[in-house]
Amino acid sequence: MDLSYPPEVQGFREEVRAFIAANVPPDWRGLGALDTEEAKAFVEQWRRVLAEHGYLAPAWPVEYGGGGLDRLRQVVLVEELAAAGLPASGSQDVFGIKMIGNLLLRHGTEEQKRYFLPRIISGEDRWCQGFSEPGAGSDLAALRTRAVLTGGEWVIDGQKVWTSQARSADWIFLLARTDPTAVRHRGITMLLVPLDQPGVDIRPITMITGDTGFNEVFFTGVRTAEANVVGEAGGGWTVAMSLLGLERGDEAATNPIMFRAEIDRLIELARERGVDGDPVVRQRLARCYSRAEIMRHLGNRVLTRWLKGEPTGTEASVSKLYWSEHHRAVTELAMDILGPEAMVPTGRGPLRHYRTDDPGAPNSTASWSTVWLHAVSGTIYAGTSEVQRNILAETALGMPREPRPDRSTR
C-alpha cells in the first residue's frame, strides 16, 4: 500500500489550506470550541462558503453544482477540513448529498439530476431517509409501507420510524412495497416523496439524551409523481443496497482523524482528573490508542479500494463493527474517569449526534456523557454489531448461514 500522495495532489492540499486560512478566524480552535448557537450559525455560513467554492459536493459534476474533483482530491479536501476542526457539509447533507444526491448520480434520470441536485447544493431542499419501520429494522425486507400507482401518482400508506431530522426536511426518500405478491426483496420501490402535503404526520421521539432528532413518520394517502422513482419500479432493494457503498472513501479518511482527536482529548481528561498515573487507566488508554491506530490502517485499506473504484466488500462491515465497538470502549473509559460527576452532566453538550464530539470540544461531563450514550447506539444503527458479525462470518469466513424460517422464499 502506497500511502504517499503524488506532487500535483500535494499542490491541491496547499490550495485547500490557503482556502481554510482565508475563510476562518485567525484564532480558530475548532467547531467544538463554539457554544451551541454560535456553532449552528457557523455551520450554515460555512456551508455557503463551501458551496460557492465547489467544495460542498466536491466530486459532483460542475453542471450540478459540484466541484468536479477526482476521488483523491476529494479525500485530501476532507482530510484537511477534519484536521482543521471544520465540517465538510451542513447539518442535513448526509442525507441530501452523501445519500440521495450520490444515489441519483448513479441511478437517477437526467431530469431528476437536473432538478434535485442543484436544489440540494443550494439548500433549498433538505432530505431525510425513510427505511426503518417498527417491524423492519435489521430485517428491512420485512417492510410493510405500501405504494399503489393510481392516475399517474404513487399513493403511499404506512409508517417509518427512527427518521432522523424529518421535521426539518422537505423531501424523504423511502422504500415501499409496490408488488405485494413478490417475495421479500422483490417488489420494493424507492420513491422520492415531498413531505409538505396532507397525510404526512411527523411525531418526534425523545431519546435518552433529551434530543428529538428521531421521528416517527406516518403516511396516509400521501402522493408523489409517477416519475419520482429511483431506478426501476420493483428494483428498490438493489438501489437501496448501493447506498451502502456510496462515499465510503471520505469516511475512511476522516474517521481515523476524528477518533484520534478524541483519544487525545481523553488523555487530557485523564491528566485533568489526576488519574494519568493510574496503571489500570494507563493500560485502558493504551488499548484505546492502539485501536485508533489500527482503525487508521483499516481506513487506508478501505480508502485504497475506494480510490481504485473497487467494491468495499466485507471491509465495510469490518469498519462499522470496529469503530462502533472502539467508540463504546473509549467513552466508557471517559465515564469511569469522570466517576459520579458523569451522572449529573454539566457544561456544553456535544454538537454532533453521532460518533465523536467536534474538535475543540470542552472536556465537560455533558459532552462525554452524551457522547457515551451516542456510542451505545452506534453499535445498533447502520447495522447492529450482531448483524455485522453474521455478515463477516458468512461472507468472509465461509461459515454456515444463520438458519431462518423464511430462507426458502428469499
Looking at the annotation, which residues are catalytic? 247
DSSP 402: P
- DSSP structure string for 200-229: EEEEEE--TTS---EEEEEEEEEEEETT-E
Grid coordinates belonging to 337: 474517569
Q: Return the SS3 of 314.
A: coil
End-to-end Cα spacing for the chain = 39
Round to whole Å and give the CA distance between 241 and 230.
13
Name the amino acid, one letter, at 122. S
**Residue 146, H or E segment:** strand 146-150
Task: Work out whether strand 127-130 and strand 146-150 pair parallel, antiparallel, or are unpaired.
Answer: unpaired
Question: 197 — phi, psi (to 5°)?
Answer: -160, 160
Cβ–Cβ under 8 Å, residues 101 and 65: no
- DSSP structure string for 63-130: GGT-----HHHHHHHHHHHHHTT--SS-TTHIIIIIIIIHHHHHH--HHHHHHHHHHHHHTSS-EEEE
Grid coordinates belonging to 376: 451505545
Cβ–Cβ under 8 Å, residues 250 and 193: no
Q: Which of 177, 182, 201, 190 is nearest to 130 (CA)?
A: 190
Angle formed by the axes of helices 279-307 and 248-272, nearest 10°: 170
